[in-house]
Structure 1
Amino acid sequence: MRRMISSAALMLALTIAGCDKNEEPKVPANPETPGTPTAPADRPIIFTTAIAATRSPQLEADGSGTFTAGDTFTLYAHDGNGASAALDYTIGATALYWREIAFAQEGERINLAACYPKQTLDKGAFDFTVTQSPDGDLLLVTGKEAAVGSEQPVELTFRHAMHRLTVQVEIEDESVDAASVEILCSAHASGRFDLATGTCSLHDSKETFSVTKPEGNILLYPQPTDRVSLEVHAGEATKQWTLSELAPKQDELESGKELTVKLTVRDGKILFAGMTIEGWGNQGTVDGEIIL
């Protein structure tokens, strides 16, 4: 997926092909009185959708990309008085007008949130289980305000809800075959997201994810590092530890960021070669080599 921003006008006949984020949206004239502006409630809500280091059917290596026609996300509108509305919005197909958000009054501002893939909401919240499949990632927009009746596009920038753990094992031992490398990661894999507050809570259960090659990415819920264990097998060598043991200054795996753990197999031992957090957002650096 190329890093770009696509614009989606929420009108039945409009597609997103060739749209530009800076293109001035056209407000349709009132059909009953040609030449006069359309009433605010009858104006389409125009979105531009951007993906900041995020997931879509087409994705760059750094996690950035764009949505394409046919992608569907869940849009959640709410105000400070408990009123809310939720709907599934399909890029290039859904038409949404301000009048369809019943509680929204012209001149007021409302809050918008969104998630991809689409979810079934319960008062703005939903349960989600992360997997290592294409649908295991979750994209969120929270805390976005919009002026009711505005003709200006509402820009939705989706961000990763999960953390990406990358483990790299460099083999410097001729007696160890790369095919023997196995990486096991045990962590909380499910929780509940609240789109209204932009927060999530972890469920108690854990799951173990496996990577059977010297380098791999593992999607994880944001969680304390002392709840995440990593076990590496390489030939006859084996080592298990928690992430908090490796990086005592890192208390949490943060949403939308990437932690890279670098290991070296040498002389029958697995050596810890350092950890860096980069790509999705810089959380810090832990350097050094530790013989495990």
Structure 2
Amino acid sequence: MKRIAICGAAALTALFAAACSSKSNEPTPAGERVITFKTDIGAFTRAPQLDADGSGSFTPGDSFTLLAGSGSASRTLEYTLGTTTLRWSDLDFAAEGATVDFAACYPTRTLDGGRFDFTVRQDASGDLLMASARGVKVGSELPVALHFRHAMHRLVVKYTVEDASVDASTIETSCTARNSCTVDLAANSLECGSTEESFSARGGQVTLLLVPQAADGVALDIRAGSLSKQCTLSQLDACPAMLEGGKELTVNLTIRDGAILFDGLTIEGWGSQGTIEDEISL
């Protein structure tokens, strides 16, 4: 009898283990799967961990606005890195087998119909970052890639001083340009506004953030000692007609022989640095 009881107990144990193993191998229902994001940020961002060249990356505790949509339905939420978890079931409009479009911006903004107004500033938080990921299959467990790009344009003015009467640190650069726009986050686009503002900075090299706009509406007024120069960017050889978001225009000027002379320009992207993977937070 004792031998039979032992064999019976062993059989029950085997059956229980098989049942648990079968249960653990069952796929997670689509609605309960966690949505994760892989983000990277272009250089010169307003982000913690900011390097000398302006590159950076998100860190736990950073927040940005996330818009998730499918068809005419959408949901807006604030994403805080490393806090809680978003599952597909939290997007009640996301039917299994369908796809969802994601869009995001940093810093956080209040959306009205997926849109918001933005005014550029020349300070640490003056930049606007945007990202989008379209056609993500509902229930997918792959990280959703959000590549944050700069929505603003970066203008750099560099001076080479070959005139002993001019101190580079006292050169004043004033730039007059349109300063606002309306952003359509769902469409990942922006429309330049009509208001203008003059931004000023001193030194042998200045950097300004501009709303993307036509170059013929951007004017420079330069004062270097007794010398001065006024022009629009479109008057400079090889300047693009449009100043695009996520790009950097560098204007080189040389001061010599009692004049401020144009010495060429370059246009390039800002590049990308920093990645992080994390679960979406609510």
> What TM-score range do you get, normalising by the shorter chain?
0.7 to 0.9
2:88 alignment counterpart: 98
- Structure 1 residue 229 displacement after superposition: 0.4
Which one of the candidate residues 124, 136, 158 is aligned to 2:114? 124
Cα distance between partner residues in 2 of 1:143 and 1:150: 13
Cα distance between partner residues in 1 of 2:199 and 2:60: 32
Which one of the candidate residues 169, 172, 184 is aligned to 1:179? 169
Cα distance between partner residues in 2 of 1:132 and 1:96: 35
Cα distance between partner residues in 2 of 1:247 and 1:123: 41
Render the CA deviation track for 1:178-232: whole Å, top value 9, x for unaligned.
Answer: 2320000011111110011122112211111111111011000110001100111
Query: Does 1:160 pair with 2:150?
Result: yes
Find the residue that maps to 1:156 and give its secondary structure.
strand
Query: Does 1:41 pair with 2:19?
Result: no
Query: Does 1:57 pair with 2:38?
Result: no
Judging by fraction of residues, say which structure has more helix: 2
- How is 1:127-276 mapped onto 2 (pairs within 5 angstroms)? 127-247=117-237, 250-276=240-266
Find the residue that maps to 1:123 and give its secondary structure.
coil
| Equivalent residues of 1:62, 1:280 under 8 A apart | no
| Equivalent residues of 1:54, 1:158 under 8 A apart | no
1:76 alignment counterpart: 67
Find the residue that maps to 1:270 and give its secondary structure.
strand
- Structure 1 residue 111 displacement after superposition: 0.7
Find the residue that maps to 1:184 and give its secondary structure.
strand
Render the CA deviation track for 1:221-250: whole Å, top value 9, x for unaligned.
Answer: 110001100111101000111001114652
Structure 1 counterpart of 2:75, one-letter code: A
2:9 alignment counterpart: none
Find the residue that maps to 2:125 and give its secondary structure.
helix
Render the CA deviation track for 1:14-37: whole Å, top value 9, x for unaligned.
Answer: xxxxxxxxxxxxxxxxxxx65533
Q: 1:65 to 1:179 in 2, by over 3 A?
A: closer
| Equivalent residues of 2:120, 2:210 under 8 A apart | yes
Q: Which has the higher contact order (CA 8 A, sep 6+)?
A: 2
Alignment TM-score, normalising by the size of structure 2:
0.83
Cα distance between partner residues in 1 of 2:216 and 2:251: 15
Larger radius of gyration: 2
Find the residue that maps to 1:136 and give its secondary structure.
coil
- Structure 1: gaps of 5 or more residues: 1-32, 282-292
- Structure 1 residue 166 displacement after superposition: 0.2
Alignment TM-score, normalising by the size of structure 1:
0.81
Count of aligned pairs:
248
Deviates more, 1:173-182 or 1:48-57: 48-57
Cα distance between partner residues in 1 of 2:210 and 2:42: 18
Find the residue that maps to 1:99 and give its secondary structure.
helix
